Structure formats: C-alpha cells, structure tokens
Amino acid sequence: MNAPARRPRSVRPLIALTALVGGLLASAAGATTAQAAASGPTPPIPGPAGLPVPAELAATLAYAACVAGGETAADGAVANAVRPNMNGARLGRSVNAYNVSCARAITRTVKGRGLDKRAAVIAVTTAITESTLHNYTVATDHDSLGLFQQRPSQGWGTPAQLVDPVYATNAFVNAMLRKFPNNSWMSGDIGAICQKVQVSAVPDAYGREVHDAQLLVDALWSGSADLGVLDFYLSDDQGSTAATRAVFQYGNSPMVPIKGDWDGDGKDTVSTYDPTSGRFYISNDPTGGQAQYVFPYGDPNAVPFVGDWDGDGKDNVGVRMGNVFYMRTSAVTSATETTQMVAYGDAPMRPLAGDWDGDGKDTVSAYDPASGRFYISNNPGSGQAQFFFAYGDPNAVPLVGDWDGDGKDNVGVRMGNVFYMRTSPVTSGTETTRLVAYGDAGDLPVVGDWDGDHKDSQGIAR
C-alpha cells in the first residue's frame, strides 16, 4: 500500500468561468413516495418456516433462477469439484451448476453484509435442507416459498420477496441475528442454530447437511472472482501516501464503495452499493464491521451517489438512471421510502453531489468524462448549471470533498494513482490544487471525513 509518489500529470487550467448555462441541461423535478422493499422482516420475529420440500416432489416443482443470467460455467466447475465429497441426505452428489448458483447468491449476500463465513454455512445448510438449493416459486407446505421455504403468513415477507434470493437470505440472517444476539451464532451446533431460526417440524434434518454446505461455501467464499473481498485503506492526512488507519474489509467485488455520515456524528463511514441487485449496504462502523441497513433503491446497475438532501446533518443515498437523479429522502434506518428527483445533464455524465455554497444541503451536479468538465448547480430543483469548468484529463475519476474544512465542497479527480483536490472555490476563475499519490492505479478511490475534523481525505478499496 505504501505506493511511491509518481510524477503528477498536469492538471488543465480552468477554461470556462462562472456562467449560467441556460438550456444546456434539461430540467425536470418532482417528488414521489413509495413503500420500500425492505431487506428483511420487521418485528416481530417471523414464525415457523415450511417443511422441507419432499424429495419426490422436487423434480416436478417450478423454480426460478437464483442469479441474474442463470448459472455459469464457473458454477458448473464448482459443482464438479465438490461433487465427489458431497454426502448429505438432501443434495449430496446430485449437486449441479444451478444449485451452486443458488449457494453463490446466498454466500455473496452474507459476505456483502460483512459477516463471518460461518453465517454463510448456516444459511446454505438451511437452504439445502429446505429446498435442496432450489428457488421454488410454488408452495408445497401451506404458503412456503423460495430457497428457505419461508412463509408470507408467518411474517417473512411477501411472496414476491421470498423468491428473491437476496431478500430471502437477508430475512434469514436478520432472524438469526435477533435470535442469537452478540454474535452467539459464532459458536454452537449449526444444525441447532438453523432449527431455532426456522422452527421446523423436523429439527434433526439440518445437521446432516452441514458438511455439504461447508464444502460449497469454502469453494465460493474466496474461490470466485465476483466474491473478492474489498480491503479499505483510509488516510486522515491529505498529504500521506500511506494509510493512517488500520486496514479493514467490507463488502466484496463487484460492489461499489461509497461513504457517508449516516448517523450525523460528523464522521464518514464506508458502505457499499451492489450493482447486480441494486442494494445498498450501509454501515456506521468506522472499521467496516457488519451492514446495519440493507435495502434496494432504484434499478440494478444504476449509478450511486450520496448527499445530505435536507440539511439534517445525515447523509442519504441516491441513484442516477438515465439522466434522472433520484434522491432518497427517508432515513437509511427507515422501512419506508420517500424520493426527490430531478433531470440533470446527459446520460453518459457521471453523478456528483456536494454542498457547494456551505448552506448544509447537498445538490446534484455532474461530470462529463468525454470533456473532463464539471457542471455544478446550487439549485436542488433545477437542471441548470451555475458553474462549469474543466479539471484534469478526460475520463478521470471524479471526486467531491471539503478539502480545507470551510464547510463548502469542491471537486477533485483521480488520474492514475494520484488524487488531485481542487482547493479554489467552484465559483473561482483561478485554480489551485493539492495532490497526493496514494495506492495503485487500479484501486477504487473513496474520500471522506474519517476523523471528524471537517476535512475530507483520501482512501482506496482494492
């Protein structure tokens, strides 16, 4: 991580002064309110799940894909690798690529929450027992559905939610964490833990599948490219070329690192956005830890951004889809969802948000990678830019931060392994820059106020 400082690339001078760009950016604003699709059940703790799907019926029931695009060749390779050693009563040596894809969906969801691998083994054990790793869309025992045979009538979720493997896994994990507080699920018999969560009429069935679940999770936890854990290297010193904080892990590739002051304590913490599911994994723990809040917002493969939209001192999430910015105004702790939206810029532009004028509220802006120009707006309801200028080279990675602690955000770019932080105001016709080489060119940049000193500084995830 102690990357040597490289010779910085030249940062191009400001080529357009403060201007009102009339007609350049389309404007459309509105507000909507909708019920959020929660990431897991809400109190009280759900009741019993359904009975395991009988083996004689399993082949006749309809089931859905567990991952977008279905199983892959890599899933087939994992199935072939573990099959000779599988010996459980439910799945055993009949394991195939589809089953592995379902185990992958479960494992990836658990890992994305920052939980220990044992949580994935517990969840996969349960799914093998209940459904032989099939995402069943029809019920055999009352109204039980999905990988975990969870029942809508018992408070696990709606039928549509329970056949969503990410939701179903989060629902299971949420119930486990509530029934086994203080990480007590980290010890004890796994079969007994599964039974306490599921409240099954066949309590002895789970223990027979632990061995097979362990094989699958071991193969998927670190052996799959899209499960690569993200290591975060954060610095409290803008001039430091090395991390000043202990390195920690949170989320996994291909999740996108984000940061925000979610609880209003004046310090940013790292969180992630999963483009494959459209879910945010929010943590208030400065060392990563576990995601406290998990929820979907927008469509998969939207572009995430973060800002304090109402000036309450707490950040919230947003996504850009097409040229429309959607800003979630309900708290990340809330099970309901309220949204503001505004059309701004063109679809290829990258979304930004910052408190450009120091009023305590962030407003959306945009960066054009084709030209290297920033389009800055102080109007939360307008699609017009007040200030536009070029900074850095085209196709740089845009950044936003309060570099000098004056309460006003500014822009920056990352080119190669160098962070360039523009210290002159966005309203200024002159340009001053601070720069530091940090990490490697292929790392994912993230900037935030990690220590609460009101100044943002650099970090990377790899």
Level-2 CATH architecture, domain 229-461: 6 Propeller (2.120)
How far does Cα 127 stand from its chain's mean position?
A: 23
pLDDT for 354 equals 95
Q: Which two tokens stand for residue 91?
A: 């799945």
Question: Could you give the angle at which helices 210-221 and 117-131 cross, rounded to 10 degrees?
Answer: 130
pLDDT in tens, 164-180: 999 999 999 999 999 99
pLDDT for 162 equals 94
pLDDT for 5 equals 32
The C-alpha atoms of residue 242 and residue 436 are separated, in whole angstroms, by 10
Which secondary structure element, helix H or strand E, spans residue 194, and what is its range? helix 190-198
The C-alpha atoms of residue 2 and residue 13 are separated, in whole angstroms, by 30
This prediction has a pTM of 0.64
Low-confidence ranges of the chain (pLDDT < 70): 1-44, 50-51, 58-59, 223-228, 383
The C-alpha atoms of residue 152 and residue 111 are separated, in whole angstroms, by 26
Residue matched to tokens 């936003």:
400
- Residue ranges, comma separated, of all CATH 1.10.530 domains in the chain are 73-222
- Residue ranges, comma separated, of all CATH 2.120.10 domains in the chain are 229-461
pLDDT for 35 equals 27
The C-alpha atoms of residue 421 and residue 456 are separated, in whole angstroms, by 10
Domain boundaries 73-222, corresponding CATH code: 1.10.530
> What's the full length of the chain, in residues?
462
Question: Could you give the angle at which helices 210-221 and 73-82 cross, rounded to 10 degrees?
Answer: 130
pLDDT for 48 equals 79
The Cα angle at residue 7 between residues 6 and 9, in degrees rounded to 5? 115
